[in-house]
């Protein structure tokens, strides 16, 4: 293993890297800002590691009034969405027999100038191993936004795009729909140079890892590890290569 791997400090504090607006992030941010400004519904479907959540929370810093609800795996369906939003807004739990009343109360609380972003929106879908999945929560969110006259962003992985295609009302109303299948080489290049890495061969290696594995999430992990291994605040090429070995990316490729 590379010589400086032994220097890594397990107790090292987490590094706050800051947000980098890659081309994919630019496309997502533009759609979010447009939806907020015009009170529209937007859908963003992107693969893991593209930077969806980072872009959402960067936008929230610029627009503190943005309400972000993160859906959870295994908690799909209208009831769970209504409960989650009521909890987020400090409202009483909804009555399961009258979700229309809960929807009206939530819409009134958010208000016509509001902006609701539902992150991990693919988890609004209630999975059914014995039949068609229940996508009603996606439609319920659309109705909520339209009744409250506020902007709505559905942000999720590529399953979200497929689900919206099966819902004509939601499909017709989500403009634009941004779909990003993977973190591009241009994204990785911009990210690396913003972090102080300018070696073309190493950037290409990282772009290949991002394409085959976890996108910019993997690249960020590599940089964080390289910084722990290195002696300066800016990782060198040697530090990056040591991090690749430490994280076993070189071994994974061999397999």
Residues 81-131 have pLDDT tens digits of 999 999 999 999 998 778 999 999 999 999 999 999 999 999 999 988 888
Q: Is the peptide bond before 94 cis (omega within 30 degrees of 0)?
A: no
Note the pLDDT of residue 251.
54
Strands (E) in the chain, as ranges, are 41-46, 67-70, 115-119, 151-156, 174-180
Q: Are 25 and 191 in contact (CB under 8 A)?
A: no
| Eight-class DSSP state of 165 | H
**At CA 59, angle to CA 15 and CA 154, rounded to 5?**
110
Note the pLDDT of residue 96.
73
Question: CB under 8 Å to 8, separation ≥6 — which residues?
Answer: 225, 228, 229, 246
Note the pLDDT of residue 79.
94
Q: Are 156 and 44 in contact (CB under 8 A)?
A: yes
Please state, for a pLDDT cut of 70, what percent of the chain lies above it. 91
The answer, yes or no, to whether residue 253 has pLDDT greater than 70, is no
Residue-averaged pLDDT of the chain: 89
Note the pLDDT of residue 15.
40
Q: What is the mean pLDDT of residues 15-28?
A: 82
Q: Are 117 and 66 in contact (CB under 8 A)?
A: yes
Q: Are 67 and 110 in contact (CB under 8 A)?
A: yes
The answer, yes or no, to whether residue 1 has pLDDT greater than 60, is no
Note the pLDDT of residue 224.
92
Higher pLDDT, 63 or 67: 67
Q: What is the mean pLDDT of residues 51-61?
A: 92
The answer, yes or no, to whether residue 12 has pLDDT greater than 60, is no
Going by pLDDT thresholds of 50, 70 and 90, the confidence category of residue 23 is very high
**pTM of the entire structure?**
0.86
Note the pLDDT of residue 62.
84
Residue 153, CA distances (Å) to 69, 128, 248 in order: 10, 25, 37
Q: Are 207 and 249 in contact (CB under 8 A)?
A: no
The answer, yes or no, to whether residue 34 has pLDDT greater than 90, is yes
Give the residue from 237, 253, 228, 236 showing the smallest Cα distance to 5.
Answer: 228
The answer, yes or no, to whether residue 13 has pLDDT greater than 90, is no
CA distance 82 to 73: 15
Q: What is the mean pLDDT of residues 45-68?
A: 91
């Amino acid at each position: 293993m590379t010589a400086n791997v032994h220097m890594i400090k397990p107790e090292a504090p987490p590094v706050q890297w800051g947000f980098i607006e890659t081309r994919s992030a630019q496309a997502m941010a533009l759609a979010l800002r447009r939806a907020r400004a015009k009170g529209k519904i937007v859908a963003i479907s992107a693969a893991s590691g593209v930077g969806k959540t980072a872009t959402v929370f960067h936008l929230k810093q610029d627009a503190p009034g943005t309400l972000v609800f993160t859906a959870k795996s295994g908690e799909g369906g209208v009831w769970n969405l209504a409960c989650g939003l009521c909890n987020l807004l400090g409202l009483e739990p909804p009555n399961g027999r009258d979700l229309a009343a809960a929807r009206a109360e939530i819409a009134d609380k958010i208000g016509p100038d509001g902006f609701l972003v539902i992150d991990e929106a693919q988890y609004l879908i209630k999975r059914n191993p014995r039949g068609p999945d229940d996508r009603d929560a996606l439609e319920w969110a659309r109705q909520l936004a339209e009744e409250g006259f506020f902007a709505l962003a559905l942000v999720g992985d590529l399953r979200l795009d497929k689900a919206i295609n099966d819902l004509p009302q939601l499909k017709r109303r989500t403009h634009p729909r941004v779909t990003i299948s993977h973190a591009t080489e241009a994204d990785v290049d911009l990210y690396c140079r913003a972090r102080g890495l300018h070696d073309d061969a190493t950037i290409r290696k990282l772009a290949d890892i991002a394409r085959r594995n976890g996108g910019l999430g993997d690249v960020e992990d590599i940089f964080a590890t390289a910084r722990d291994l290195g002696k300066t605040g800016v990782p060198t090429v040697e530090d990056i290569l040591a991090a690749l070995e430490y994280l076993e990316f070189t071994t994974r490729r061999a397999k």
